[in-house]
Structure 1
Amino acid sequence: MRDQHVGALVVSEGGGSDHILGVLTDRDIVLQSVCTGTSPITVRVGEVMSPHILSIDVNADLTEAMQVMSSHGVRRLAVVGNGTDVVGILSLDDVIAALGREWILLTNILRNEQNREAFGSIQTPLHA
């Protein structure tokens, strides 16, 4: 997880995505292992993972994802296609980055409008 800079892993039976067992987060490791005095090197994934994984359809919008995260108090959702195939994980960081890009676009729209008004009025002759 550290080497790949990820905070969560989907846990499945046999290493494939056929049967999802749960999710292992960096928080699970800290709270269920480190804080209880159990060595994270010797503890098994099944002992500390969260057995439930919340998911959202690949075609859902960010508002729906945020509502699911908020109502369940989670920072990550499995993204599923074809009903059950996990195609990725959506994190709160991903949502913030996407919304940040939208805010930058809105800022650019406002700035361009202000520039057009400020410089456009100088170039436009006044009508009596």
Structure 2
Amino acid sequence: MPQYVKDVMTPAVTSVRPDASLVEAAQLMRAEDIGGVLVALDGELLGVLTDRDITLRAVADGVDPLTVSCHLVCTPNPVTIGPDEEVAEAAALMRKHEVRRLPVIRSGRPVGVVSMGDLEQGGPPA
């Protein structure tokens, strides 16, 4: 019997505004103990920002993380998946696009995130 993304995803969506600074995003990631946040405006997904993005696309280039916005550093138009898709499809998308997280979208709005950890553990932590 197939397992579905909605059964293993982390349903809480942690997001930042596109104009939020990288420092704000990093502080939120630390507080939530997560490695990435969604960049969204009015419920519309604009991108995904990871700790790796901040390190490689900003800090390594010497930009000021207090003044640079998340929208300038995030991965725009990320690969997404629906909650009713099979977990095997999520894993295939992650492999194909070499990503560790997929935003889960329903009716154009983010409703969760599925990560490699979710797939390996069979779902989000209780």
Query: What is the TM-score of this pair, normalised by structure 2?
Result: 0.69
Q: How many percent identity over aligned positions?
A: 37
Per-residue deviation, 1:6: 1.5
Per-residue deviation, 1:45: 0.9
Aligned with 1:3 (options 23, 26, 31): 31
Taking the aligned partners of 2:31 and 2:103, their CA distance within structure 1 comes to: 21
Structure 1 partner of 2:3: none
1:45 aligns with 2:76: no
* RCO comparison, higher one (Cα < 8 Å, 6+): 2
1:55 aligns with 2:55: no
Taking the aligned partners of 2:79 and 2:105, their CA distance within structure 1 comes to: 10
Larger fraction in helix: 1
Taking the aligned partners of 1:32 and 1:20, their CA distance within structure 2 comes to: 20
Query: What is the TM-score of this pair, normalised by structure 1?
Result: 0.68
Of structures 1 and 2, the larger Rg is shown by: 1
- Spell out the pairing of 1:1-128 with structure 2 (5 A cutoff): 1-13=29-41, 16-17=42-43, 19-82=44-107, 84-98=108-122
Structure 1 segments of 4+ aligned residues over 2 angstroms from their partners: 39-42
Structure 2: where are the runs of 5+ without partners? 1-28
Structure 1: where are the runs of 5+ without partners? 100-128
